[in-house]
Amino acid sequence: MRSVFSLILLVVIGAGVVFTLSSIPFGSTSSDVGEYYIDSGRADTGATNIVTSVVVGYRAFDTLGEVTVLFVAAIGLGAILAAGRENEEKKKAEWEPASLVLYTGCRFLFPLILLFGAYVFIHGHLTPGGGFQGGAIIASAFLMVYLGCRKKRISKTWARNTESISGLVFVVTGLTGLAVGGHYFLSNFLPEGTLNTLFSAGIIPIIYIAIGLKVGSELTGVIDDLIEESE
């Protein structure tokens, strides 16, 4: 009964969607806003990756919200898992230690992955990539250590403080723009530099580094919370 109703609902939605899509032909739509970004994105923000100039330049406020969403989810996850854990006695499960090959391999790869993650977010304004991608790569390095080296744990305070400080850097950069850079929140107050060089694009690299560190430490915190739960 329920599935019949659901199917009817889906058919109705599908029909409506097909009807509307007929006015948006595939592969030829071009928007004024998008074209403007491609034409003057480099001059406006100094970033050669136009997606970055949209994410951290034109729509930086969205990104601030996005960082906050992830922050909210990480805290929420911590709160939910902590709320149930209080009235349970802790029992430590004994983990079988990982084999030597796995252990050494993880330790060898860990700094390389971190380096790669840092590269991705530092070069966000020049090449594909950016803070979120770099942060996810960094968190994956920690996930590997958790899985491969088992007993190793990060310090919770350290992760929380990194998260907190990098979030603050984002907001304070925005507020500095409000104070000195033409009186707009999140406006660029640093020189744009030469295109296609590392030190260019004003505040974009600063924000992307902050986001990279924040996302990295946040996702690591989430992994840490979940792994603690399984013990």
Q: Scan residues 141-160 and list those touching other proteins (CB under 8 A).
A: 157, 160
The minimum distance between CB 107 and other proteins, in angstroms, equals: 27
Closest by CA to 195, choosing from 75, 19, 62, 43, is 43
Give per-residue burial for 80-107: e unless 16+ CB within 10 Å, then b. Answer: eeeeeeeeeeeeeeeeeebeeeebeebe
Closer Cβ to other proteins, 126 or 145, answer by number: 126
Closer Cβ to other proteins, 54 or 106, answer by number: 54
Closer Cβ to other proteins, 34 or 111, answer by number: 34
The only residue of 46, 134, 167, 216 in contact with other proteins, by rule CB under 8 A: 167
Q: Which residue has the tokens 């080296």?
A: 149
Maximum Cα–Cα distance across the chain: 64
- Contact set for other proteins, span 13-52 (CB under 8 A): 13-14, 16-17, 19-21, 23-34, 36-39, 41-42, 44, 48-51
- Contact set for other proteins, span 174-193 (CB under 8 A): 174-175, 177-178, 181-188
Could you say whether residue 197 binds other proteins (CB under 8 A)? no
3-state SS, residue 153: coil
Cα end-to-end span (Å), the chain: 42
The minimum distance between CB 14 and other proteins, in angstroms, equals: 6
- Contact set for other proteins, span 53-112 (CB under 8 A): 53-55, 57-66, 68-84, 86
Which residues have a Cβ under 8 Å from the Cβ of 6 and sit 6 or more positions away? Answer: none
